[in-house]
Amino acid sequence: QTPAPKAKAVSNKDEKISKPLAPYKRQNAAMVALTRNTDLFGVRKTMREIEDRFNRKYNYPYIFLNDVPFNDEFKRGVLDMTSANVTFGVVEGEAWGYPEYVDKNKAKEAREKADYINGGSESYRFMCRFQSGYVFRHPLLKDLEYYWRIEPDVHYYCDLDYDPFLFMKENNLIYGFNMAPNEYMKTIPTLWDTTKEFMKKHPGYMAENNLIKWATDKEGEYNGCHFWTNFEIVKLSFYRSKEYMDYFEHLDRAGGFFYERWGDAPVHTLGVAMLLDQKQVHYFGDIGYYHPAMGFCPTDSRKKGKCVCDSDKEKAENYGCIRDWIKMYGDKK
């Protein structure tokens, strides 16, 4: 029997090679979704793609929020999809429902007259108001520095070989978007006037190099361009800032979340457009994406890259707001 070989003295060099790779140092960040129990399969599909394209390398945690408790089927179904940490939270109190100064009868009448998508829905309005002013204050997100908002039934077309949270940090970015369609103006008849009032009240809040030019037309009216917030990567201290919170409060008092159907997308967008410097906002033109109704495929992916979509069929440049963005500010990555 040959004796077991003696352990070799390990030089510094060998040690470095034989050590396991250091665990990845994540940012203080999470994937966050508000969903219903009935969204389970759509959520599982989204998670499968996020894990395959990105998160199995980084293991960012997930936070799921709901206005009623998640059931065991939902929790099990979601936990199956990832080895990352997952937490489930309930949205309570003033975060979901009417503020006391909103007239519920007037809100009901407005819903009955609203002949556009989700116009008649009360819960859709609670959702938009929650996403506009509350999600980043939820106890489960209290200490979180960045979030990446996700939704059921979306597609992430491309393999992502870097960490967008780290990218945000290294480049001092505060808001990241990928798609920017035009809003259906019937849902926000008075949002712009209400926003103009706010700008008049707080001229000192406006960022010097802000994005109002991108968000307005020749007459200086809101052009409807909005970051599609079903995907957004955000440094949450922005939403928690006095300036953004004052804007949300100003809008909430005006009642348009209920008397009209203000979406969180134009609200976030106008907040960003007024309060951030253009250099703090990043177009993730490389994160190919689809949310029911529309998507975009990063330019040239037909010939190279790591996407499963066809950039000749779903061009980012089909969207006027993206064309304007690139014309005004370029496409950096």
Query: Is residue 122 a contact point for ligand GDP (CB under 6 A)?
Result: no
> Applying CB under 6 A, does 39 fall inside the site for ligand GDP?
yes
Rounded to the nearest 10 degrees, the angle between the axes of helix 122-133 and helix 104-113 is: 110
**Choice from 87, 123, 237, 318 touching ligand GDP (CB under 6 A):** 123
Given 49, 151, 246, 324, the residue binding ligand GDP (CB under 6 A): 151
Determine how β-strand 232-235 pairs with β-strand 175-177: antiparallel
- The three-state DSSP-derived secondary structure of 223-254 is CCECCCCCCEEEECCCCCCHHHHHHHHHHHHH
Q: What is the spatial order of strands in the sheet that 294-296 belongs to?
A: 155-156, 289-291, 294-296
Give the interface segment with Mn ion, choosing from 48-56, 143-151, 157-165, 189-197 (CB under 5 A): 143-151
- Binders of Mn ion among residues 12 to 51 (CB under 5 A) are none
Q: Which of 34, 188, 236, 307 forms a contact with ligand GDP (CB under 6 A)?
A: 34
Question: How many angstroms separate the Cα of 317 from the Cα of each of 270, 327, 331, 333?
Answer: 22, 11, 12, 15
Stretch that binds Mn ion, among 56-64, 150-158, 213-221, 236-244 (CB under 5 A): 150-158
Q: Does 151 bind Mn ion (CB under 5 A)?
A: yes
Of 32 and 281, the one with the shorter C-beta distance to ligand GDP is 32
Considering CB distances under 5 to 8 angstroms, the limit depending on partner class, which of ligand GDP, Mn ion, none binds residue 110? Answer: none
- Contact between 256 and ligand GDP by CB under 6 A: the answer reads no
The stretch near ligand GDP (CB under 6 A) out of 34-42, 166-174, 218-226, 282-290 is: 34-42
Q: How many other β-carbons are positioned within 10 Å of the β-carbon of residue 323?
A: 14
In the bound state with ligand GDP, the residue whose beta carbon lies nearer, of 210 and 230, is 230
CB crowding 296-305: b at 16 or more within 10 Å, else e: bbbbebeeeb
Footprint of Mn ion on 219-238 (CB under 5 A): 230
Total residues at interface with ligand GDP (CB under 6 A): 13
Instruction: Say if residues 159 and 233 touch (Cβ distance below 8 Å).
Output: no
Beta-bridged to residue 176, according to DSSP, are 233, 282
Distance CA 171, CA 222 (A): 29
Catalytic residue among 51, 183, 232, 314: 232
Longest dimension (CA), the chain: 91
Residue 311: contacted member of ligand GDP, Mn ion, none (CB under 5 to 8 Å, by partner type): none
Candidate list 59, 61, 67, 212; residue touching ligand GDP; CB under 6 A:
67
Which CB atom, from 58 or from 296, has the smaller least distance to Mn ion?
Answer: 296
Minimum gap (Å) between residue 152 Cβ and ligand GDP: 5
In this structure, the number of other CB atoms found within 10 A of the CB of residue 179 comes to: 25
Count, residues near Mn ion per rule CB under 5 A: 2
Q: Which of 201, 84, 86, 192 is nearest to 140 (CA)?
A: 86
For 23, which DSSP code? P
Which listed option, Mn ion, ligand GDP, none, makes contact with residue 197 (CB within 5 to 8 Å by class)? none
Q: Is 232 a catalytic residue?
A: yes
What positions carry a catalytic annotation? 232
Would you tell me which residues interact with ligand GDP (CB under 6 A)?
A: 33-36, 39, 66-67, 123-124, 127, 151-152, 230
